[in-house]
Amino acid sequence: MYEFDFVKPTTLADAIAALGAEEAQALGGGQTLIPTLKQRLAAPAVLVSLTGIGEMQGIELGEGQITIGGATPHAAVAAEVAAAYPALAALAGNIGDPAVRNRGTIGGSLANNDPSACYPAAALASGATIVTSNREIAADDYFEGMFTTALEDGELITAVRFPVPEAASYQKFEQPASRFALVGVFVAKYPEGVRVAVTGAAEDGVFRWSEAEVALSADFSPAALEGIDCPAEGMIADLHGTAAYRAHLVKVMTRRAVMAAAG
Amino acid sequence: MPKDHGIGASTKRREDVRFLTGAGRYTDDINLRGQAYVHFLRSDMAHGRITSIDTAAAAGMPGVIRIFTGADFEGIGGLPCGWQVTDKHGQPMQEPAHPVLAQGKVRHVGDPIAAVVAETREQARDAAEAIEVEIEELPAVIDMKAAVQEGAPKVHDDLTSNLCYDWGFVEENKAAVEEAFQKAAHVTTLELVNNRLVANPMEPRVAVGDYDRAGDESTLYTTSQNPHVIRLLMGAFVLGIPEHKLRVVAPDVGGGFGTKIFHYAEEAFCTFAAKAINRPVKWTASRSEAFISDAHGRDHVTTIQLALDAENNFTALRTETYANMGAYLSTFAPSVPTWLHGTLMAGNYKTPLIYVNVKAVFTNTVPVDAYRGAGRPEATFQLERVIDKAAMELGVDPIALRRQNFITEFPYATPVAVEYDTGDYHATMDKLVEMADLDGFAARRAESEARGKLRGLGVNCYIEACGIAPSNLVGQLGARAGLYESATVRVNATGGLVVMTGSHSHGQGHETSFPQVIAEMIGIDESMVEIVHGDTSKVPMGMGTYGSRSIAVGGSAMVRATEKIIKKAKTIAAHLMEAAEADIELKDGQFSVAGTDKSVAWGDVCLAAYVPHNYPLDEIEPGLEETAFYDPSNFTYPSGAYACEVEVDPDTGKVTVERFAAADDFGNIINPMIVTGQVHGGLAQGIGQALLEGAVYDENGQLLSASYMDYAMPRATDVPFYQVDHSCQTPCTHNPLGVKGCGEAGAIGSPPAVVNAVVDALRSGGSGITHIDMPLSPARVWAALQG
Amino acid sequence: MTQVSMTVNGQPATGEVEGRTLLVSFLRDQIGLTGTHVGCDTSQCGACVVHVDGKAVKSCTMLALEADGAEVSTIEGQANADGTLNVIQQAFQDHHGLQCGFCTPGMVMSAAALLKENPKPTEDEIRHYLEGNICRCTGYHNIVKAIMAASGQDVAVLAAE
């Protein structure tokens, strides 16, 4: 790692102020950022830890919606939303490994927007609202491609608000080495329709598979997917799978998610 | 009742206590006063000519002590190769220089260009980034077959081509093999890849060099499986330090699997630099660095053909293999695809005629050398895959086809130059059939199919040659070292024993199992025996641990030394009891005079040896310490039969190993618990090779699988509980313990079983597939299913 | 340099660190607790697992300054007060759940975290929980068995070995 200064504010206001410094960067749980720093792929002058800010922690179970503080670790989400939103809890409980889940945070994951991360699929499929230090951003407007989001410099994810669906499931097919999603599909059924978000597969990061959404909104069953294929164009091709393989997995995982959610 | 002590007992490991409490002492735990740190600037280019290196700016960075480049090593030896292979024309292999730091050219991603020694690790790395290196990029040669084409870019300008050697074995058999193929009723041909692997012991390599001006002595602490070999290679061939001025210590070592056998540039560098700057110099590899600097394993491309007569007897076998050497010859690299591979091509079968051709090739990749099994997994994989394919083509049961061709009489001289002393291949197969519940397979397959999954069963046999030796034979085959082992047994005045062995333990539990042998020989408690290893200043000589040789060769040396101890102790006991030496018996730690009630305890004899007040000084010297060197007369030949059952998800291509059974014949067993553990670990590595692991380069020589993000290590969820049995025992006839070695068997025997099982599963689903190359990743299996 | 203070295995520990100093470096290099190991640089192998305020974390993926004021426990603090092996450690020895010992500290710390959350885990739960702990020696068989045994389950009939 390159040398940097470390600050650990205890309020959001102090964090925002600290992030105003030249080359300052926010540090959530660090489960992606620290390995990146170790490879010397980033060189912040100041790291602003978000782990000491009480107002960014915790989970609020409301009527038909769940609000998760941006600095809430995956393990807390897995434990605390299990009854209210089981698919989201299951997703959180399968990110990385237990030690990673004790440190990694939802805000960190969404801010980083790794194309193989799990949380972006949940946020997009749930039509979640990304609450930042400045504004609220609809998930549909938030993800702008691999490692790219609508966040501006110095803007922090303070919370994420998930409307609770009638039924949902996340199905992840793991990349054999990293155990990130080679393809992960989150299907969520709301009164206004079904949303299907896919992570891991596409070069532009998480996306909604609209064709499947239309079919599943009309008939929420695996049969509805017959005759629909996810195009291979724009899919990631690497040593773990071709674009065609990923496109195929999108359909398989979508079908499994529908079966699990409907079951 | 199982034994509770001595040979055959599952004694709990004494070394575990320190490992379980954080008290282990690995090389990176060693920090010396005044220690500096080195960071290596490595090539990010696979092939290029260095046009300039400017270290001026870096030298002025904070904490920098000194920067070294290839120029500092001019006139100093390069890293030697320990084995010279002679090609099919009787010519020696092409052997390029292997400088400690690159000179003139870089030849693989990871080739060290410069080394910065600084006060801290991070300062060294900071400064390394400030070194300005200009490299003219040259086209890289990655594909082996392309590398040996006319006009291919040369990895080494001073060699005639990228062909290290073209080896024929046995060259005299070639014509007879051709003739047998012409007469064959059936020929099965299979082209396959034995995938390149990275050994990945969990402890990355570390080296700490130290220099003592007062004594002009150098010390190297290193993560090695064989500190004496490092002392010899580095002292004699690289740095010119006599052995009495060079100490090499390999303390607790966190796994080796072959890749810690070799002498590496970083070891020589730290030893050299410590003297140059007169301070200890430490290097700790990161995992990313390990991927581009540890020698890799396997990487063969093979065409194998099996000829059968009308009764399905194997009549001949021939192979053509391209074996990757990487950019330089690592310590034992040339021996792996030749003598450790060709000599095993008979397997468990009485195929009368065999011809093996191996072309070893230089490429712009990390050097390739021995990895758990080394040559033997490659031989086993080809042979057991081609037999399965033959059974498929002929429509016969693959187990029956194997049984029909088993060698059944021993000793058996193979057509590939080795003589198997013992074995009983039907017995291990019988055991396997029972363990694996083959009768229940059809029901299990039906149950899987009901869930939309494909189930397959794969069975295979293996043979390996362990305890590599004897020296006079391996010398003829090109080894540049003897392959004996030594042991010194020192008995203290109070009766405790210290056994100094050249074998090295990096997970094998020698500290526990070796005392089981010695204690049983004398009849004392195991706790009275202490094993010392891993330090050239404490152990006179040693060749280390590899090739499953520790108990067969190192253990035999210990037995010989202990026999000498017992003989001398009997002389002392005879004197103490005023009896004839021939009448002295040793049992349960008591020396007694046959036919009398006279006895003297082990401890009293030991005391007399060191307090010789009443002692036969006119007959023998005081003291009780003996050394033995043991040079075996043959390899040992463990064998076994393995069965794997897999389930394949046809929607995703994911393979799940549902059952794995291993029936091994290791001859006599010292500690069954440890032996079983060795097999477990080997199985996971074999399953890893078959399903998960692969080191992949792109066409420019960039390693795509350069971290655990892309190199799939087996996790707990990837393997089942294994069934392991070693009750079939045909003891080795030529070593004193009747032992054979067990460290590599699991990794040798398991890949074909897994692949055979997956092919069986896919065919059960209607696919006509006959082969898939490893690793059988979900993507590959799915693609195969698409046809 | 900044001062950092924490409690490690019940003892106060203080040192001067840089912003970039990792918790594992503080433990190993500054206070000499070398039982915690580093086996990778991508946060996957788990040789570095320690507990921070009772939770398993990868100490190679946490800055030392993040642990300021925390209660840290490492492999060196796991044995019983009389120095004997604790239940998990003893089960690892009894069932040969380690070979080279390098991944072992992380395995033991992860096993301890698991059993705190789930006192009687199934085989599948154990294997899944060890997703972030890589062992190259044992093939996991005896690690899983040791953890089952440590949780008081009968392992004699688990697997025909």
- How many whole angstroms from its chain centre is CA A150? 14
pLDDT of residue B753: 98
pLDDT of residue B1: 66
Residue with tokens 């009896």: B579
Task: Report d(CA A134, CA A151) in Å as an integer.
Answer: 10
Confidence label for C48 from pLDDT (cuts 50, 70 and 90): very high
Name the residue ranges covered by the structural domains of chain C. Answer: 2-77, 87-150
8 Å CB contact of C101 and B24: yes
Q: Are strands B625-630 and B485-491 parallel, antiparallel or unpaired?
A: antiparallel
Smallest CA–CA separation between B707 and chain A, in Å? 9
Dihedral (CA of B214, B215, B217, B222) sign: negative
At residue C161, does pLDDT exceed 80? no
* Chain C residue with Cα closest to B14: C93
The two three-digit tokens of residue B243, written as one number: 């052995």
The closest CB to that of B707, out of C42, C103, C161, belongs to: C42
ipTM: 0.98
Q: Which residues of chain B have pLDDT under 50?
A: none
Instruction: Give the Cβ contact number of residue B123 at 10 Å.
Output: 21
Contacts with C, B 22-41, CB within 8 Å: 22-26, 28-29, 31
Q: Which residues of chain A have pLDDT under 70?
A: none
Q: Which residues of chain B neighbour A240 with C-beta distances below 8 Å?
A: 710, 777, 779
Pinpoint the alpha helices (H) of B406-508: 425-435, 441-450, 471-476
pLDDT of residue C54: 97
What's the mean pLDDT in C123-142?
A: 98
Task: Report d(CA C40, CA B285) in Å as an integer.
Answer: 9
Q: Which residues of chain A neighbour B708 with C-beta distances below 8 Å?
A: 177-178
Q: What is the mean pLDDT of chain A?
A: 97
Q: Which residues of chain C neighbour B22 with C-beta distances below 8 Å?
A: 33-36, 74-76, 78, 105
User: How many inter-chain contacts (B to C, CB under 8 Å) are there?
Assistant: 193
* Chain C residue with Cα closest to B21: C76
The closest CB to that of A6, out of C44, C49, C63, belongs to: C63
Instruction: Give the Cβ contact number of residue C46 at 10 Å.
Output: 30
Local structure of A174: helix, strand or coil: strand
Task: Specify the CATH architecture of the domain C2-77.
Answer: Roll (3.10)
Task: Report d(CA A99, CA C105) in Å as an integer.
Answer: 14
What DSSP string describes chain C?
Answer: -EEEEEEETTEEEEEEE-TT-BHHHIIIIIS--TTS----SSS-S-TTEEEETTEEEEGGGSBGGGGTT-EEE-GGG-S-TTS---HHHHHHHHTT--SS-SSHHHHHHHHHHHHHH-SS--HHHHHHHGGG---SSSTTHHHHHHHHHHTT---TTT---
8 Å CB contact of B680 and C141: yes
**Nearest by Cα to C103 from C146, C69, C64, C159:** C146
pLDDT of residue B410: 96
**Nearest by Cα to A107 from A66, A151, A146:** A151
Q: Which long-range contacts (CB under 8 A, 24 or more apart) does A231-237 make?
A: A234/A202, A234/A203, A234/A204, A235/A201, A235/A202, A235/A203, A236/A115, A236/A200, A236/A201, A236/A202, A236/A203
Q: Which residues of chain C neighbour A95 with C-beta distances below 8 Å?
A: none
Instruction: List the single best residue of C63, C107, C135 to mutate versus A (max A Cβ within 10 A).
Output: C63
> Do the Cβ atoms of B517 and B670 come closer than 8 Å?
yes
Q: What is the mean pLDDT of chain C?
A: 96
Biggest CA pair distance of chain B: 86
Which CA distances in Å does B717 have to B82, B657, B658, B754, B755? Answer: 39, 10, 11, 16, 19
Pick the CATH number of C87-150 from 3.50.50.60, 1.10.150.120, 1.10.3720.10, 3.90.78.10: 1.10.150.120
Contacts with C, B 129-148, CB within 8 Å: none
8 Å CB contact of B783 and A176: no
Task: Report d(CA B631, CA B486) in Å as an integer.
Answer: 9
Q: Which residues of chain C neighbour A100 with C-beta distances below 8 Å?
A: 43, 58, 61, 132
Whether A34 and chain C come into contact, CB under 8 Å, resolves to yes
Confidence label for C159 from pLDDT (cuts 50, 70 and 90): low
CATH 3.30.365.10 domain position(s) in chain B: 141-196+296-406, 419-460+636-787, 484-630
At residue C66, does pLDDT exceed 80? yes
Q: Which residues of chain A neighbour C63 with C-beta distances below 8 Å?
A: 6, 27, 30, 34, 47, 49
* Chain B residue with Cα closest to C21: B122
Give chain A's domains with CATH numbers. 5-49 (3.30.43.10), 58-163 (3.30.465.10), 167-262 (3.30.390.50)
List the CATH code of the domain at B27-138+203-293.
3.90.1170.50
Exposed e or buried b per residue across B478-493, where buried means at least 16 C-beta atoms within 10 angstroms of its C-beta: bbbbbbbbbbbbbbbe
Task: Report d(CA B441, CA B647) in Å as an integer.
Answer: 12
* Chain C residue with Cα closest to A43: C20
Contacts with C, B 426-445, CB within 8 Å: 435
Is the CATH code 3.40.710.10 the one for domain B141-196+296-406?
Answer: no
The two three-digit tokens of residue B751, written as one number: 């890949």
Task: Specify the CATH architecture of the domain B419-460+636-787.
Answer: 2-Layer Sandwich (3.30)
The closest CB to that of A177, out of B126, B653, B712, belongs to: B712
Q: B484-630 adopts what CATH topology? A: Aldehyde Oxidoreductase; domain 4 (3.30.365)
- In this structure, which amino acid lies at residue B524? I
Q: Which residues of chain B neighbour C92 with C-beta distances below 8 Å?
A: 16, 20
> Do the Cβ atoms of B173 and B355 come closer than 8 Å?
yes
